[in-house]
A = this chain, B = another copy of it.
């Protein structure tokens, strides 16, 4: 079995980077800076399915994603006030970790973002700028 991104991610997010462990996607929702980390190994559902070594890499990538989320918030002139980090997978069980930047004036604060309100796709220029920032941070 080889790794493949669940097609469910493709409708709502864009590929943004390949990090040592994770395929990184930018959620196409301008309400929040929002990255999704998908460890590039087949058959994962839970964090416990990763080796101890890969769990350590995932933790590093969660921090790296948090830094990027803060940079994306700055770029959009909406500095992040709180990070939300979550591995849920009730709808799409392939292991993935959401890293989301929240503000007390955002669209659904203080609720969690999933299933609240309607996604607002980025404009083309905004999407390009976000993807370029992510690329520039390697």
Contacts and interface: CB of A to CB of B under 8 A. Distances in A.
A84 interface: yes
Copies held by the complex: 2
Q: How large is the interface on A (under 10, 10 to 19, 20 to 34, 35 or more residues)?
A: 20 to 34
A78 to B, nearest CB: 16
Interface string A41-79: 000011110000001100100110010000000000000
A5 to B, nearest CB: 19
Given A63-B47, A66-B48, A111-B114, A88 B84 contact: yes
A86 B84 CA distance: 8
A66 B46 CA distance: 9
Contacts of A59: 47, 55-56, 59
A45 to B, nearest CB: 7
A132 to B, nearest CB: 24
B86 A85 contact: yes
A46 B59 CA distance: 13
A115 B55 CA distance: 29
B115 A85 contact: no
A87 B90 contact: no
A89 interface: yes
A73 to B, nearest CB: 14
**Top-4 shortest CB links A-B:** A86-B86, A90-B110, A85-B87, A84-B88
